[in-house]
Structure 1
Amino acid sequence: MASFLTSFFAFILLISVLVAVHEYGHYIVGRWMGMKVLRFSIGFGRPIWLKKYGEDDTEYCFSAIPLGGYVKFLDSREADINPSDFGRAFDQRPILARIAVLLAGPLFNFIFAILAYWLLMAGGITTIKPAVGSVEPNSYADQAGLVFGDKIIQVGDEKISEWEPALTAILGEIVQNGQVNLVLENYDGFQRTAILNIGDNKTRLTEPGALFQGLGFKPWQPPAIIADLSEDGPAISSGLKVGDRITSIAGQDIFSFEDLRIAVQPLSGERVVIEYFRENQLEVVDIKIGERKLGGEVQGYLGVSWNINNDDGYIKEISYTPLESLISAVNRTWSSTKFTVHMLSRMVIGDVSVKNISGPIKIAQIAGESAERGWRYFISIMAVISISLGVLNLLPIPILDGGQIVYHTIEGIKGSPITEKSQIIGQQIGIIFVLMLMTFAFYNDISGIFS
């Protein structure tokens, strides 16, 4: 788990960037539409840094509470305006101009996600093909006949070549049908179909982290075949060699390097027995696990690594031209946006667990863990959260961009603004909804910590 400081600073960076992107959308389109901007703030509350700039003396500031931000436009409904600024107030601009400004915030979040994915895909990517790892006895996967090494080449009607669309399609099948229809391919290239019947258990499987455990299989990971040994690691001093395949450590079965990593982490300083295959012969070695500090936490250390060439066709290298990577980035953003909307709508009717609503504590934890894994993981998480932020702000809730768009659309249809009483009632409903959402989010965050 990421250290507190790593999570804190990663969270501040993530939120600040995404809020700045969102608010800059409102800001720049408002400027294009001839509106006067009074303030552009990252964060809420008292400004801790403020500078005025430009012909309009616009205030640019960072505020004390870094959980959002805002752009304040000149508005004749809030105060008298200078005659020289007449026509530049937000409420005095055409309705389509106001709607464009409101749409710009979420739109810039989607654009950020596209650019983030484009950066990640530039020059090509290396990805693990979706395949079945270890299978739990008597699970849905076991009953459907899934076995270690099966490649998932189709979920429902969708052809699959990467894990992200595979996960989206699997969750979609569970929510829609209560079952998962798969086309699998074994080591020999033989294809067959399999159906995982989930039945009434589908809502539980949509809880965070419950999918693979509920289905009863782990994603395939590179096998624990040693490709390199650290000079200062305990593995090399114990006699382990390149090519050895580790199958057990401290009595725990090992199928992949991910299993090995998880098994070794809590064993720092302990003496354990490792079983491994060398030239098809089972060997045993007694070894004392080393230790190292990672993110403020002491973890076990063996000193072995794997090689991309030990993948048996399960790792895919994809090369992109700049245009191809841009097209792929747009497609991934669109796919993630549709998935987010679908899951939200299913959450409303109870088919998807409300435990998926995360608050700042969980987001900080995810941000910290992704930052420790490297900049690519952090950028990927930023893209996902940026999409969620864009979708959330388009919901027709009065205090969000989507609700304001509804107000101005109604004004355009009826030819006059909705009454002040109706606006107040709408804002009260919106505030209650957002408070309920925040309560769910904090409850889920705290429950996750204690569980």
Structure 2
Amino acid sequence: MNAFFGSVFWLLVTLGVLVTFHEFGHYWVARRCGVKVLRFSVGFGRALWSRKGRDGCEYQIAAIPLGGYVKMLDAREGEVDPALRGQEFTAKPVWQRIAIVAAGPAFNLLFTVVALWLMFMLGKPDIAPIVTAAPHSLAAEAGIQAGDRIQRIDGDAVSTWSDALDAIANATLGRQPLPMVVTDPHGTPRSLSLPLQKLPAGQDVGRYLDTLGLRLASPPAIAATVVPGQPAAAGGLRVGDLIRQVNGQPVADFEDFRSQVTRQAAIQPTLKLQIQRGDQQLDLSVTARKEALQGGVARWLIGIGSQPPVMATLRYGPLKAVGAALTATWHNTRQSFNLIGKMLSGQASPRNLSGVIGIAQVANSSAHMGLAWFLNFLAMVSLSLAVINLLPIPVLDGGHLLYYLIELVKGSPVSERVMLAGQYVGLMLLFTLMGLAFYNDIHRILSS
């Protein structure tokens, strides 16, 4: 399955699962409050499949998969049979209407906790946050050295590279100095501060991370594998050999060795390697070969492989996973509202918004990384749906909750005229946000 069709497939899976769960929240609480549900729809527009339930509700899957809805018996939409007035939505007390509307985001939060709980029990394979800094970068200025392992960021413990990257990415939006604790390869701790205040204003997170120059450290230049029949094996290189020099130039790590092979073999394919084998220091001659692997771009190779990165898998038992899931949900909820606040105040650029194309791409890549990663992705998207739906924008759940809170204060419902005006404003805001997110997705694709 190629990237395009894979992205479409996993986007449909993602939206299908999360929209169904969200709308089921509205449906389930409405039924518990005695409201008659007329239609439960996953998707908008023309029905692709529908079935009438014994309860009289029509269940359907519609053609446009970007959402869904639960249609209830509502006097605002037409005459109601007097025999059914007790099951009509607006006839219910305001606290029941609040519960019905809030149930969608609440079920998304519940899904987030359950998905993270399953993820922590399965164990999410990740890479240890052992880092290095690009020359002359902000990370190098802060004192990051090759082989440093990140232990804490802004006081919070960090155990994986993805956690470290998330924490740093969120911190870049505020562009304030970020305290960190790292340990060197010998385990000696030290404190430092990333000078995020020097980042330029108005850029997206991806560009901020590039400017910061913090990256995973390359493994040492050790031949972890030597391919039989390739130049390295022919030249006498063995598994476990540490490469010290290429044509007299010192080698810092495996990435540095790879770049030196590419650069120097283009001038002269025969390379002089100085290696360390146990207590011996040896000089070998290897003639690099230019090959295109799996249809890729041809490059100079000698036929050795590097050591795998140090892994850090988060895995807990069922009880501990509950606490970890709740903590992660709370932490990410705070980060989501923090991002919205910074966008509204102008501290964070709207370029950080991502739309359906970006979601599809991440859905595809996370699905290929394994079930635990896909569960983590579903949890984050579900949380985002909950947060977005709670915003006080008419047409969203948060807008309806705002109306009902006003009704509680003034003792009577908001007028239909005000609600209609709010619907127009809400639709304009929603389409503006969707258009901006779509533009950002296209811009990222074209500029990558």
The residue identity in structure 2 corresponding to 1:149 is G
Equivalent residue, structure 2, for 1:145? 143
Is 1:396 paired with 2:392? yes
1:228 Cα deviation after fit: 5.5
| Mapping of residues 265-280 of structure 1, within 5 Å | 279=277
Asked whether the equivalents of residues 22 and 105 of structure 2 are also in contact (C-alpha less than 8 Å), the reply is: yes
Tell me the distance in 1 between the aligned counterparts of 2:302 and 2:373.
24
Equivalent residue, structure 1, for 2:421? 425
Indicate the structure (1 or 2) with the bigger Cα radius of gyration.
2
1:272 Cα deviation after fit: 11
The residue identity in structure 2 corresponding to 1:392 is I
Tell me the distance in 1 between the aligned counterparts of 2:229 and 2:43.
47
Which of 294, 298, 302 is 1:292 aligned to?
A: 294
Is 1:439 paired with 2:435? yes
1:5 Cα deviation after fit: 1.0
| Mapping of residues 29-428 of structure 1, within 5 Å | 29-55=29-55, 57-122=56-121, 124-133=123-132, 135-176=133-174, 178-199=176-197, 201=199, 203-204=201-202, 207-220=204-217, 225=222, 227=224, 241-244=238-241, 255=253, 279=277, 284-289=286-291, 291-292=293-294, 311=310, 315-428=311-424
**What's the C-alpha RMSD, in Å, of the aligned pairs?**
3.6
1:408 Cα deviation after fit: 0.9
Tell me the distance in 1 between the aligned counterparts of 2:147 and 2:220.
11
Deviation per residue, 1:207-238 (Å, 9 max, x gap): 14224311122133655755567899998799
1:180 Cα deviation after fit: 1.8
Secondary structure of 1:181 counterpart:
strand
Asked whether the equivalents of residues 289 and 302 of structure 2 are also in contact (C-alpha less than 8 Å), the reply is: no
Tell me the distance in 1 between the aligned counterparts of 2:258 and 2:99.
52
Deviation per residue, 1:80-120 (Å, 9 max, x gap): 12233221111111211111111111111122122222222
Distance 1:125 1:8, change over 3 A: closer
Asked whether the equivalents of residues 175 and 199 of structure 2 are also in contact (C-alpha less than 8 Å), the reply is: no
1:388 Cα deviation after fit: 1.0
1:336 Cα deviation after fit: 1.1
Tell me the distance in 1 between the aligned counterparts of 2:401 and 2:257.
49
Report the identity percentage: 37
1:317 Cα deviation after fit: 4.8
Distance 1:233 1:14, change over 3 A: farther
Tell me the distance in 2 between the aligned counterparts of 1:83 and 1:424.
26
Tell me the distance in 1 between the aligned counterparts of 2:446 and 2:35.
49
Distance 1:257 1:17, change over 3 A: farther
Deviation per residue, 1:134-191 (Å, 9 max, x gap): x222211111221111122222233333334433443454444622222221122222
Asked whether the equivalents of residues 272 and 283 of structure 2 are also in contact (C-alpha less than 8 Å), the reply is: no
1:17 Cα deviation after fit: 1.2
Distance 1:318 1:61, change over 3 A: closer
Deviation per residue, 1:373-421 (Å, 9 max, x gap): 3333322222211111111111000110011101011112211111111
Asked whether the equivalents of residues 408 and 417 of structure 1 are also in contact (C-alpha less than 8 Å), the reply is: yes
The residue identity in structure 2 corresponding to 1:353 is S
The residue identity in structure 1 corresponding to 2:206 is G
Asked whether the equivalents of residues 202 and 351 of structure 1 are also in contact (C-alpha less than 8 Å), the reply is: no
TM-score scaled by structure 2? 0.84
Asked whether the equivalents of residues 257 and 306 of structure 1 are also in contact (C-alpha less than 8 Å), the reply is: no
Distance 1:413 1:273, change over 3 A: farther
How many residue pairs get matched? Answer: 432
Asked whether the equivalents of residues 150 and 184 of structure 1 are also in contact (C-alpha less than 8 Å), the reply is: yes
Secondary structure of 2:404 counterpart:
helix
Tell me the distance in 2 between the aligned counterparts of 1:96 and 1:248.
74
213-222 or 377-386: which moved more? 213-222
1:260 Cα deviation after fit: 7.3
Secondary structure of 2:9 counterpart:
helix
Deviation per residue, 1:319-359 (Å, 9 max, x gap): 52211012111111111111111011101112112111111
Deviation per residue, 1:263-322 (Å, 9 max, x gap): 99xxxxxx99897956265754524545337xxx999999977666x73xxx44555221
1:423 Cα deviation after fit: 0.8
Asked whether the equivalents of residues 40 and 59 of structure 1 are also in contact (C-alpha less than 8 Å), the reply is: yes
Tell me the distance in 2 between the aligned counterparts of 1:91 and 1:396.
20
Tell me the distance in 2 between the aligned counterparts of 1:104 and 1:258.
54
Asked whether the equivalents of residues 40 and 60 of structure 2 are also in contact (C-alpha less than 8 Å), the reply is: yes
Tell me the distance in 2 between the aligned counterparts of 1:247 and 1:68.
57
The residue identity in structure 2 corresponding to 1:210 is R
The residue identity in structure 2 corresponding to 1:16 is G
Asked whether the equivalents of residues 246 and 254 of structure 1 are also in contact (C-alpha less than 8 Å), the reply is: no
Asked whether the equivalents of residues 272 and 287 of structure 1 are also in contact (C-alpha less than 8 Å), the reply is: no
TM-score scaled by structure 1? 0.84
Structure 2: where are the runs of 5+ without partners?
263-268
